[in-house]
Structure 1
Amino acid sequence: MPFTVAVRTLCEFAARRGDLDLRFTPAPSAQEGIAGHLWVTERRAEGYETEIALRGSFEGLEVRGRADGFDPALNRLEEIKTHRGDLARQPANHRALHWAQARCYGALLCEARGLAQLDIALVYFDIATQRETVLTETWEAPALREAFEALCRDFLAWAQQESAHRAARDAALQALAFPHPDFRTGQRELAEAVYRGAATGRCVLAQAPTGIGKTVGTLFPLLKAAPAQALDKVFYLTAKTTGRQLALDAAQALGAGRTLPLRVVELVAREKACEHPGSACHGESCPLARGFWDRLPAARSDALQSGLLDAPALREVARRHAVCPYYLSQELCRWTDVVVGDYNYWFDGSALLHALALEQGWRVAVLADEAHNLVERAREMYSAEIAQADLRALRRTVPQAVRGALDKVQRGWSALRKAREAAGDRLDGLPANFLQALRGACTAIEEHFAQAAPGASLDEGLQQAWFGMLGFLKLAETFGEHSVLEWREQPAARGGRPDAVLRIQNLVPASFLAPRFAATRTSTLFSATLSPPRYALDMLGLPQHTAWVDVASPFSAAQLQVRIVQRISTRWADRGRSVAPIAELIARQFEAAPGNYLAFFSSFDYLAQVADAFEAAHPQVPAWRQSRRMGEAERSAFLARFQPGGQGVGFAVLGGSFGEGVDLRGDRLVGAFVATLGLPQVNPRNEALKARLEQAFGRGWDYAYLVPGLQKVVQAAGRVIRTPEDRGVVWLIDDRFGRPAVRELLPAWWRIAPAGDAVAQA
């Protein structure tokens, strides 16, 4: 079967040379690029052809693409590129890539039309000045064919290797056996649901309890489905680093890197992967960017021999070949079978994996671990803010043209403030004149950058402000019922009227995420806390035909004593009175059954009050606390206190680092106290969220407060029972835990002690 490749992909693979150069150069937006192409082609004479579909082959390699334009009268093929500013700023490797693409199209056109000779032109169109710069070459058809075949020859060996890898991969996956002697209770049910999702092209929402092996139980069936469903890639996405490691461990258990010809790569954030933090990403500053594209082919081949490329393995390959590990990992996404990374690589507005999937036409499957986190993460992805003080500070250092544009923005702030005050201190929409002032400032900054001398360093603060304004404007274009405008004020640096901060805060990310689910063959979102399923469907924009599976727990009610303390209220007004009773309850439980316990509270202040009271009354009991902004070493030290056979109480904040993703098996943890319902704060944002959700779904209070809060409670309680051998106790401390609406959101397998028993034991 022939291997098919796009002209762009062929050239990016075979013709890129020189340095990695990520210095900022003003570039048109996608819309401006489309408009620029249209502007150029509409200037051409009658008979000019556009978007010419071309294809050709070389030794079984099929190459296809669309040439921008051809003028039969001039016998000239044109490759049109839009730009902004001085072309001398264009990196040399960009120009070389453009020529390679144009020559490739030229070879295909000569073959298709029997041309003996052809003029090839690179047409650079400056969208700011609307001027063209035309660079022309004249080629004989045989020479173009020779250049085309040289590119194909470089790619062909790789294409044949990739075809062989795909065939071997699919054959191995068809024969893949589950890596353990038996499925755990509930694990087969989960695996079957994921497999059916891939087979039928449906998304899956899976609530599966902790301890059944969700990672292997989801990754294994998708890999088994890959050959029959022609899946190119599986993306395993997580909210936290611990989730990535579980996915890598599961891939290794399945044989990746050893017996299974499966390529797996881990993506990590640039700041964590960077080997030279003080250097900019270009060859004049960073040695790993210098000659990156020249050394990439050898590094890529070496990396893909490893199979399993976690961050340390990738770093070692990058070190051997003196290339940047972060950008090596991004390039390897094109050639690996499983990519493990954060949610943002698929769900963010500028997500790498989503962009590649659309560009390459991949057939992909997505696994989203701990998916109860996705709502809040997506809200952050689709929110943006601008600060008046930041823009004012810029004014002192920018040239006059930019200063004038920023002055218009400052006047816009004043008009915005007056409009808000006139409307009773609220904003229901973004005034057109304010947005126009922001666009004007962006244009002025772009033009300033475009006029900079080649090689000149650009003001990083101005760049960041420009990116921030562009991000804000992008969300402003889609502003609607899914978001609200938030206004807050900051004290002015030198007194006087406070400065404003304007934020577009997303409340319901469904409309942004729905296209991401539509771009997959199947997506499976799984977590121990996804009830009620309607909440996830409404908030995340999953298709209405999404399958729901609620996997039965492998644990028995006898393993976990769940006690409700209804005589204590943890409401804000009652917290002072609750401190001593909660401290005494913890002490009594510890005295009755010494061991390691976790106590969760709604805030650091509440935690400190109870911990202080507990330590003062019971100094003989070891106690340790979560603190604000703990580093990785501090978090590890906190968890290290939970030793097998140990005794003591760790105090933590609900929804923080220790409320989920922590695996303390056996007697490393024998109990937990949850002194809160986890309800979000009552503040203007959450009240706006409640109103919008009530209007949209008729579930305002539940969706804004109760469901997110109880998800945190169940996650925290889930730290106690991790295996079928574990035993423990969970104390739910608040009278509201006895309400039917709350009880129905707690796990069905819990057997909750009657209130009378709990009061007596407390």
Structure 2
Amino acid sequence: MKVDNQKHQIQISIRELIYPDIRSQAVGPSLPFYLRTSKGTQIHSNYQEMSKLEKKQTKTSVKTEYRVKITRKVKNWVFTITGRTDLVQITGNTISVEEIKSVNHIQSFSLDAENALLYKLQLLFYAQHFKDTYPNKAIECKLVIIDVFTEEQKVHNIPFNSVLPELDAKCAELLKNIHEDSQYSTKRKKRVDSIVFPFDHMRPHQQEIIQTVHSVLDMKQALMLSAPSGIGKTVGTLFPALQYTIGKGKRLFVLTSKTTQQQMYLETLRLFVHKKGKLNAIILTAKEKMCLNTTYNCDPEHCPYADSYPEDYESVIKSMLKTKVLTSRYIRKKAKEHKICPFELSLDCSLYCDVIVGDFNYVFSPVIKLQRFFKGKYNDCICIIDEAHNLPDRAREYYSPELSQTMVAECIGFILTQSFKPKMRNAIINKLKELDSFIDNVIASLNNPGLRVASVNIDKAAVAKLLEDLEKLVVDYVGNFFQQLDLEPMAGDPFVIFVKQVHFFYQILEQCYLDEFEQLVYPIDRKIKIFCKSAANFLKKQMKGFHSVIAQSATLHPVGYYREMLGLPENTEILQYTSPFPQENRLYMDFPFVSTRY
């Protein structure tokens, strides 16, 4: 969406206009997202190609991915709404417009469902374009529904009627939101003035830290702060970062490796609020820890909170934001009260927060990171990395996938407990056994299989074939749940998770031509592993996306080494301080009974 406030013009796609929804997608879908996306794209393409072939012998003109545009004037604003219709067929005086949608279970699809109403609105928008362009032609509207698993098709004929009133209403609603955002911006200066230093006096060096952080943020640069406990790093960096974040309309991520550090930031943020600071912050907690059930299972059949949203969901969030610092305890309480998944609720609340405090995983893990913030550009985000010396090791773990025979055996054991056709069960088990044999063969290729660990060359083509077969099986596996039981596999389904792990293993294996990786085999542990020796290049790409990064710790020595390992640029500002405590107070203790022999 592009907004020109001076000309009162807005360019927006039909998808952006009719599908805005703050509700997160953390509970599902059960099919790996990359597979669901590729399968949907394949279904669209196949249907379009078949339609072209069928009409090739006739005089029918068939066009796919046809660009359409409608211009509307609402409250003195000019809206240019664009889109691409999946299929347009022109025969004589008739124009047939088709919108293709892939669904998980075609038998349970209803035209009265909320998503179907939006599908119809999108279809009618495309039809409206052709009606406006060719007013004398008859318009046919067809909603094509295709099952993503069985590829069964149903074509629903939708009567054409003008959607201009609905489009105008959507545009008016969007203008209202833009106006509210504008009002929020005008209040920003008052909010900035409310952020004051929470203590009566500053510690030595804190003033310099604060001034340096302000300078770094103004220059959109990075800062490394190496200082021992007692300097006041937490407030010294958080205070100016808060002022800049709120004053400039940014978002601040505070990342830690331990929950004890998050507790420290919680207490510090409350100090700012106690001083009448106008801010909104949230402490993100792991999904399992947020769960309200005695057993962690996100299957809607077993969890009353999964996929449950009240009609006044937005007002629930608005009410919660009156509490300036949201904690897991408060969120769980409100989630239980309104029968909402607490983790989902926390993610949705985070969209409205100035400060998000959480684990390294939420930003740097390629699997767990918050896609809602980091899928696209995030140069409006500032990042404080606390105890930053822990990040290089954690990042190496992110990019060091492994596959073991224990993992395979556990997956086979799970499949044996599932009730579906023997043919499918046997196909999955046989493929898993094939992977088990592959690991066996890697171990057998060693001259000395008694080694604890050894370097190997893993056959990339063999892993690619195993992955391809497993992905086909997992599509059939998930489809079986929909067809036979009319439900999805439970969240965290072991087989689905395992296929994701094999997929990630192969993704990293493809990059093993880089010096950062070593392919290893552990004969005793019966596993293969890709060991990431340095994740600096991965971190570098992520660090570049932020407005600014502040990495702080008491142990960032040598500074040059950590700058490279953290992926920070060469022009990173560096502050180093010694302990503020008197040297004569230092206590030296000797433990001669502790062996340091390797």
TM-score (norm 2): 0.79
C-alpha deviation, 1:134, in angstroms = 5.0
The one-letter amino acid paired with 2:515 is: E
Aligned length: 557
2:160 maps to what in 1?
139
Determine helix, strand or coil for the equivalent of 2:305. coil
1:212 aligned onto 2:231 = yes
The one-letter amino acid paired with 2:517 is: S
Q: Are 2:191 and 2:246, in contact at CA under 8 Å, matched by a contact in 1?
A: no
The one-letter amino acid paired with 2:203 is: R
1:466 maps to what in 2?
499
Give distance in 1, aligned partners of 2:112 and 2:212: 46
Give distance in 2, aligned partners of 1:57 and 1:95: 30
Identify if the C-alpha distance between structure 1 residues 150 and 322 changes in structure 2 by more than 3 Å, giving closer, same or farther.
farther
1:248 maps to what in 2?
266
1:727 maps to what in 2?
none
Determine helix, strand or coil for the equivalent of 1:220. helix
Identify if the C-alpha distance between structure 1 residues 16 and 418 changes in structure 2 by more than 3 Å, giving closer, same or farther.
closer
Determine helix, strand or coil for the equivalent of 1:365. strand
1:370 maps to what in 2?
387
Give distance in 1, aligned partners of 2:325 and 2:139: 47
Give RMSD over aligned pairs: 4.0
1:477 maps to what in 2?
510
2:341 maps to what in 1?
324
Write out per-residue CA displacement over residues 110-151 of structure 1, whole angstroms, 9 at most, x where no aligned residue. Answer: 47983569655555566777776655534322xx23333454
1:168 maps to what in 2?
187
2:30 maps to what in 1?
24
Determine helix, strand or coil for the equivalent of 2:455. coil
C-alpha deviation, 1:364, in angstroms = 0.7
Determine helix, strand or coil for the equivalent of 2:370. helix
Q: Are 1:366 and 1:523, in contact at CA under 8 Å, matched by a contact in 2?
A: yes
- The residue correspondences of 1:693-712 to structure 2 (distance < 5 A) are none
C-alpha deviation, 1:196, in angstroms = 2.0
Determine helix, strand or coil for the equivalent of 1:487. strand
Identify if the C-alpha distance between structure 1 residues 261 and 151 changes in structure 2 by more than 3 Å, giving closer, same or farther.
farther
Structure index of larger Rg: 1
C-alpha deviation, 1:392, in angstroms = 4.1
Give distance in 2, aligned partners of 1:59 and 1:186: 54
Q: Are 2:442 and 2:458, in contact at CA under 8 Å, matched by a contact in 1?
A: no
C-alpha deviation, 1:67, in angstroms = 2.7
1:534 maps to what in 2?
560
Identify if the C-alpha distance between structure 1 residues 24 and 311 changes in structure 2 by more than 3 Å, giving closer, same or farther.
same
Identify if the C-alpha distance between structure 1 residues 124 and 206 changes in structure 2 by more than 3 Å, giving closer, same or farther.
farther
1:450 maps to what in 2?
479
2:574 maps to what in 1?
548
C-alpha deviation, 1:506, in angstroms = 1.8
Give distance in 2, aligned partners of 1:62 and 1:477: 48
C-alpha deviation, 1:501, in angstroms = 1.1
Identify if the C-alpha distance between structure 1 residues 282 and 415 changes in structure 2 by more than 3 Å, giving closer, same or farther.
closer
Write out per-residue CA displacement over residues 665-716 of structure 1, whole angstroms, 9 at most, x where no aligned residue. Answer: xxxxxxxxxxx6xxxx96xxxxxxxxxxxxxxxxxxxxxxxxxxxxxxxxxx
Give distance in 1, aligned partners of 2:358 and 2:113: 32
Determine helix, strand or coil for the equivalent of 2:569. coil
Write out per-residue CA displacement over residues 593-616 of structure 1, whole angstroms, 9 at most, x where no aligned residue. Answer: xxxxxxxx6xxxx6xxxxxxxxxx
- The residue correspondences of 1:530-609 to structure 2 (distance < 5 A) are 530-560=556-586, 578-579=592-593
Identify if the C-alpha distance between structure 1 residues 51 and 537 changes in structure 2 by more than 3 Å, giving closer, same or farther.
farther
Write out per-residue CA displacement over residues 346-396 of structure 1, whole angstroms, 9 at most, x where no aligned residue. Answer: 101034435424347661111111101101111122222211243245446
1:410 aligned onto 2:432 = no
Give distance in 2, aligned partners of 1:282 and 1:139: 38
The one-letter amino acid paired with 2:186 is: A
Q: Are 1:409 and 1:438, in contact at CA under 8 Å, matched by a contact in 2?
A: no
Give distance in 1, aligned partners of 2:332 and 2:431: 45
Q: 5+ residue gaps in structure 1?
A: 491-498, 569-577, 580-600, 607-675, 683-762
Q: Are 2:98 and 2:123, in contact at CA under 8 Å, matched by a contact in 1?
A: no
2:523 to 470, 489, 496: 489
C-alpha deviation, 1:472, in angstroms = 2.1
1:197 to 216, 231, 244: 216
Give aligned-pair identity as a percent: 22
Write out per-residue CA displacement over residues 499-534 of structure 1, whole angstroms, 9 at most, x where no aligned residue. Answer: 721122222111222221121111111111111122
Give distance in 2, aligned partners of 1:292 and 1:214: 40
TM-score (norm 1): 0.64
Write out per-residue CA displacement over residues 398-437 of structure 1, whole angstroms, 9 at most, x where no aligned residue. Answer: 6122233224323423432343449995303444213422
C-alpha deviation, 1:182, in angstroms = 3.4
- The residue correspondences of 1:302-701 to structure 2 (distance < 5 A) are 302-359=319-376, 363-392=380-409, 394-395=411-412, 397=416, 399-421=425-447, 426-452=455-481, 453-456=484-487, 458=489, 460-479=493-512, 480-490=514-524, 500-560=526-586, 578-579=592-593
Identify if the C-alpha distance between structure 1 residues 282 and 98 changes in structure 2 by more than 3 Å, giving closer, same or farther.
farther
C-alpha deviation, 1:245, in angstroms = 1.7
Q: Are 2:309 and 2:340, in contact at CA under 8 Å, matched by a contact in 1?
A: yes
The one-letter amino acid paired with 1:344 is: N
- Which one scores higher on RCO, CA 8 angstroms, separation ≥ 6? 2
- The residue correspondences of 1:223-242 to structure 2 (distance < 5 A) are 223-226=242-245, 230-242=248-260
Determine helix, strand or coil for the equivalent of 2:311. helix
Q: Are 1:416 and 1:434, in contact at CA under 8 Å, matched by a contact in 2?
A: no
The one-letter amino acid paired with 1:465 is: F
Give distance in 2, aligned partners of 1:94 and 1:512: 45
Write out per-residue CA displacement over residues 565-602 of structure 1, whole angstroms, 9 at most, x where no aligned residue. Answer: 7xx9xxxxxxxxx42xxxxxxxxxxxxxxxxxxxxx6x
Give distance in 2, aligned partners of 1:273 and 1:81: 34
Give distance in 2, aligned partners of 1:200 and 1:76: 55
Q: Are 1:78 and 1:121, in contact at CA under 8 Å, matched by a contact in 2?
A: yes
Write out per-residue CA displacement over residues 207-236 of structure 1, whole angstroms, 9 at most, x where no aligned residue. Answer: 1221122122112212222366x4431111
